Amino acid sequence: MPTLVEDLQSSKSNLEEFRNVATRVLKYIPAVIDEETEHQGYLICSSTTAGTRKRTRPFKKDLFIRSASTFDEEFQQLLEILKGLKQGNRDFKKDQFAIIDRTIYTIQQSIGIGLDLLFEQNSARKHAGNRFEELIRTILRAMNIAIKKVTLSIPYDTEGGQKFYRCETDVIISPHKKVKSDSRNINKDEIVISLKTTTKDRMPKIFIDKILMERFIGHPVKIVGISLNDVQRKDDRGATKISFTFVSNLFMVYTNFLEQLEGYYYIDIPRRALEDPFNQYIFPFSKFVLEDVWELLKS
């Protein structure tokens, strides 16, 4: 078996691998944490090892499953929900929406917490982003949805001749057995999904990519955004607090004056996004999994 350090930095391709690493971190946390503080419903844990003080990213108290045994029980329910989706079930209860958000949040945040405690900050951020993309792709495959990562090659002229801009997509999903989009075209039936652990400093690219793709291809392109959360740890005069990074006004300006996305989904949805008019465009991730993705793929 790989060490926890090796497990956290290795790519994942199935849900069992994600369950295993999350369970290892959940069992590891109580052994090393010596302090925790609460801020606006979020917890930040601290650990001192070999004279080095490490702090975790904030995690939401009512979303994160701290018990490994409880996580295992809810993970089994997640598998049953995904099995039902593959069999065509579209009728789910409120608690099943909660299972989706809690289990996926716990998997991703446990990986992030493990990285915070065992890696330096830049490396932790990079690996957490990679695991998030892998996790969402794995969920989509488990729903029996065809997926593919496509890079559009957009030509432009220069004094030195024609060159190409590489417009990368995080993942494209399709109602067909195989994704039909390629380096020259995004199929009208398919959906581009932008995966960002947070929208901080990344929100403009999602809207700009939609404009760029549509102008290059010549027809509307459906784009959906998925993020983990928009909250981060902040050190304020020696005190550790949290700050919220969702720029709500900027989101509405882009939506009203640039392009309107087909939807934006958070696993830990910002409080501001629950208010009107943001709640007309921003939704919980569970709504995407259990309802909206199927409607988008039909339209």
Instruction: Kindly state whether residues 121 and 27 are assigned to the same domain.
Output: yes
Q: How many structural domains are present in the chain?
A: 2
> Residue 1 has what pLDDT?
84
Instruction: Kindly state whether residues 288 and 224 are assigned to the same domain.
Output: yes
Instruction: Kindly state whether residues 135 and 150 are assigned to the same domain.
Output: no
Instruction: Kindly state whether residues 42 and 94 are assigned to the same domain.
Output: yes
Which of 101, 126, 142 lies at the terminal end of a domain, its last residue?
A: 142
Instruction: Kindly state whether residues 49 and 159 are assigned to the same domain.
Output: no
Is pLDDT above 70 for 237? no
Is pLDDT above 90 for 227? yes
Which of 82, 109, 142 lies at the terminal end of a domain, its last residue?
A: 142
> Residue 150 has what pLDDT?
95
Is pLDDT above 70 for 60? yes
What mean pLDDT do residues 161-184 have?
A: 95
Instruction: Kindly state whether residues 98 and 186 are assigned to the same domain.
Output: no
Is pLDDT above 80 for 28? yes
Instruction: Kindly state whether residues 33 and 112 are assigned to the same domain.
Output: yes
Q: Which residue has the higher pLDDT, 140 or 48?
A: 140
> Residue 238 has what pLDDT?
64
Instruction: Kindly state whether residues 136 and 167 are assigned to the same domain.
Output: no
> Residue 243 has what pLDDT?
93
Is pLDDT above 90 for 220? yes
Instruction: Kindly state whether residues 133 and 157 are assigned to the same domain.
Output: no
Identify the weakest region by mean pLDDT among 15-19, 21-25, 64-68, 158-162: 158-162
What mean pLDDT do residues 187-192 have?
A: 97
What mean pLDDT do residues 249-278 have?
A: 95
Residue by residue, what is the 3-state secondary structure of the chain?
A: CCCHHHHHHCCCCCHHHHHHHHHHHHHHHHHHCCEEEEECCEEEEEEEECCEEEECCCEECCCCCCCHHHHHHHHHHHHHHHHHHHCCCCCCCHHHHHHHHHHHHHHHHHHHHHHHHHCCHHHHHHHHHHHHHHHHHHHHHHCCCEEECCEEEEEEEECCEEEEEEEECCEEEECCCCCCCECCECCCCCEEEEEECCCCCCHHHHHHHHHHHHHHHCCCCEEEEEECCCEEEEEECCEEEEEECCCHHHHHHHHHHCCCCCEEEECCCCHHHHCCCHHHCEEEHHHHHHHHHHHHHHC
Which of 116, 142, 168 lies at the terminal end of a domain, its last residue?
A: 142
- Residue 64's domain spans which residues? 4-142
> Residue 25 has what pLDDT?
98
pLDDT tens, residue by residue, 114-172 = 999 999 888 899 999 999 999 999 999 999 999 999 999 999 999 889 999 999 999 99
Is pLDDT above 80 for 50? no
